[in-house]
Amino acid sequence: MKLARIGPAGQEKPVLIQRDGTARNISSVVDDISARSIADGILTRLEQIDVAALPTAQLEGVRFGPPVSDVGKIICVGLNYTDHAAEVGLPLPTEPTIFMKGCRPSGANDPVRLPKGAAKGDWEVELGIVIGKAGMYVDEADAYDHVAGFCLFNDLTERSFQMEHGGQWTKGKSFPGFAPLGPWLVTRDELGHPDNLRIWLEVNGVRYQNGNTANLVFGVQQIVSYLSQFYELEPGDLIVTGTPAGVGLGQTPPAFLKSGDVVRLGIDGLGEQQQNILAWED
């Protein structure tokens, strides 16, 4: 199933989108799509009810908020596509490269403001994993049991903050609005194993990223198992799995975001996003 939260920020209503595209308002079943409702088994409950008896919801022209209202940790995997590591001139990691993102997810199509004085805003389309069941020391064979579903994610980055101000990557990743998520949470039963999905991103109609999740260095099961050695994974946590080649930093010469740009991105089965880029002063 596809689950979404639609409406103005702070007033989103939960909906279920059926395979034929019909949206059903599920407010009578659950108040919100949240870490708590996922932990309490809302995905199983929704599988057991007659959703056709629920009222329909209009999707055209509405805002899609983050599909999970209260994402917990955002754990990111860097350099996890073979082609991306090559474009930035770094060797493939022997273990996943991990960093954190310190901002809250925003809606899939919400506008994005660049930081004050930003000079090197960049894009990174990524596959996101939403954790559905808590766990530590998870075996790879059991990893999917801990996954609620998958989302499209844009790991926006200010490269000057990331690379020119010392310290680690997090400061370049954490500006408000730098985590567009959605439009949907797609459950495992609908998407299947996301190991051969087209993943792409365009800026102003020019396609920069055109990859496939088959090129992941570490796959979903490996990542979930690996991270569970260091973190207590909890329902509502978001793991983003890296980006394919084609980031702005990897262009010759480098290409970075500016006010007025339009970014579009998508992953097969997970929908599309579009963000209008604004300067801090706009």
What are the pLDDT digits (tens) for 249-276? Answer: 999 999 999 999 999 999 999 999 999 9
In the predicted model, is pLDDT for residue 205 greater than 90?
yes
Indicate whether 270 belongs to any domain: yes
Residue 38 lies in a domain: no
pLDDT at 215: 94
Domain boundaries, position 115: 66-278
Q: Express as a percent the part of the chain with pLDDT over 90.
A: 89
Looking at residue 86, its pLDDT comes to: 82
Check whether 128 has a pLDDT greater than 90: yes
Q: Average pLDDT in the 216-233 region? A: 97
Q: Is residue 225 part of a domain?
A: yes
pLDDT at 4: 98
CATH assignment of the domain containing 173: 3.90.850.10
Asked whether residue 122 carries a pLDDT value surpassing 80, the answer given is yes
| Confidence (pLDDT) at 166 | 77
On whether residue 146 sits in a domain, the answer given is yes
Q: Give the chain's domain count.
A: 1
The answer to whether residue 3 sits within a structural domain is no
Dihedral pair phi/psi, residue 213, rounded to 5°: -65, -10
pLDDT band at 191 (very low <50, low <70, confident <90, very high): very high
Cis upstream peptide for 91 (omega within 30°): no
pLDDT over 90 (residue 163): no
Cα 149 from Cα 46, distance rounded (Å): 14
The answer to whether position 12 is within a domain reads no
Strand order in the sheet with 23-25: 56-57, 23-25, 13-17, 2-6, 185-187, 147-154, 125-131, 238-240, 74-78, 97-100
Assigned domain for 184 exists: yes
Q: How confident is the model at residue 217 (pLDDT cuts 50, 70, 90)?
A: very high
79 within a domain of the structure (yes/no): yes
The pLDDT tens digits of the residues spanning 73-115 come to: 999 999 899 888 888 787 888 999 999 999 999 999 999 999 9
